[in-house]
């Protein structure tokens, strides 16, 4: 599998992934200009080709209301940083494009 790391505007993000197959989107909750929650909402609402792609949100802060809000809005997982090897193992299925 290929891993692509990208830091761009939302519009360019959507444009780029119109031509790429995406199995998983991993984003931090705290980013400049937009939170991971705002990105999640935009992906699920404004991007027809990415709305079904699983989104995992990372954060160093353990704030239950934030976690619940992200999961209720469609995040596949909310993981606390720093990640452990067992956390990365949970992502393996998505990276290999399996479902279940």
6-65 pLDDT, tens digit per residue, is 666 777 777 777 777 778 888 999 988 889 999 999 889 887 778 888 899 999 999 999
> Domain holding 47: CATH number?
3.40.50.2300
Residue 75 included in any domain: yes
Structural domain count, the chain = 1
| CB-based contacts of 82, cutoff 8 Å, min separation 6 | 60
- What does pTM read for this prediction? 0.80
User: Does the pLDDT at position 71 exceed 50?
Assistant: yes
CA distance 37 to 65: 12
- Residue 5's pLDDT is 62
Element spanning 88, H or E: helix 85-95
The confidence score (pLDDT) of residue 48 equals 77
60-84: average pLDDT? 96
Give domain status of residue 9, yes or no: no
């Amino acid at each position: 599998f290929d891993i692509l790391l990208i830091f761009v505007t939302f519009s360019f993000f959507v444009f780029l992934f119109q031509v790429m197959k995406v199995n998983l989107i991993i984003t931090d909750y705290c980013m400049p200009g937009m939170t991971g929650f705002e990105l999640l909402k935009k992906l699920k609402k404004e991007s027809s080709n990415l709305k079904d792609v699983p989104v995992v949100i990372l954060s160093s802060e353990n704030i239950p209301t934030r976690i619940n809000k992200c999961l209720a809005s469609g995040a596949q997982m909310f993981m606390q940083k720093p990640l452990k090897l067992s956390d990365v193992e949970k992502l393996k299925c998505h990276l290999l494009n399996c479902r279940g």
